[in-house]
């Protein structure tokens, strides 16, 4: 990543609360590879929030998404690129913010060695540019 890309990613920090969120996101995102080496049921137990909370504002959700995308650029190589880090980190924060998202893992239907991780909300892909369901067979789900 170039300095310009990192500087642009840090543009999401407009106030101290944004800096604190970006730091928390970076810490969780850096932990994702270790957490995902565990058996999936154990990973699910770690990722699920321990208690239900009322949903946070849509503005908070936007701040989390921006912080996750910024951390993947600004904190590279500490934070890995890719769908797994993004989806798991988003799940961690959004599930704790009361958003009823589901974390899904899938493998390619075409037989090629390809996988994907994404979030679903109300049964549909959430925060994805295209729907991964036609290309990937869901192999595991984690719900809050």
pTM: 0.88
Q: What is the pLDDT of residue 7?
A: 54
Instruction: Compute φ and ψ for 142, nearest 5 degrees.
Output: -125, 120
Q: What is the pLDDT of residue 118?
A: 97
Query: What digits encode the pLDDT tens for the residues 1-27?
Result: 566 555 555 566 678 888 899 999 999
Does residue 122 register a pLDDT over 70? Answer: yes
Q: Is the peptide bond before 77 cis (omega within 30 degrees of 0)?
A: yes
Tokens 């925060």 correspond to what residue?
127
112 pLDDT band (50/70/90 cuts)? confident
**Domain extent for 108:** 3-142
- Give me the percent of the chain exceeding a pLDDT of 70: 91
Q: What is the pLDDT of residue 31?
A: 95
Element (H, E) at 68: helix 58-74
Q: What is the pLDDT of residue 75?
A: 82
More confident residue, 35 or 3: 35
18-53: b (≥16 Cβ within 10 Å) or e? beebbebbbebbbbbeeebeeeeeebbeebeeeeee
How many structural domains compose the chain? 1
């Amino acid at each position: 990543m170039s300095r310009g890309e990192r500087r642009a990613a840090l543009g999401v920090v407009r106030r101290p609360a944004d800096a604190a969120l970006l730091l928390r996101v970076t810490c969780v995102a850096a932990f994702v590879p270790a957490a995902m080496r565990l058996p999936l049921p154990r990973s699910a137990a770690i990722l699920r929030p321990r208690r239900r909370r009322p949903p946070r504002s849509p503005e908070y959700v936007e701040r989390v998404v921006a912080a996750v995308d910024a951390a993947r650029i600004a904190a590279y190589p500490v934070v890995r690129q890719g769908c797994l880090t993004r989806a798991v980190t988003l799940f961690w924060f959004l599930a704790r913010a009361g958003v009823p998202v589901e974390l899904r893992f899938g493998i390619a239907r075409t037989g090629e060695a390809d996988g994907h991780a994404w979030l679903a909300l109300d049964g549909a892909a959430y925060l994805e540019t295209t729907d991964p369901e036609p290309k990937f067979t869901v192999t595991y789900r984690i719900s809050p």
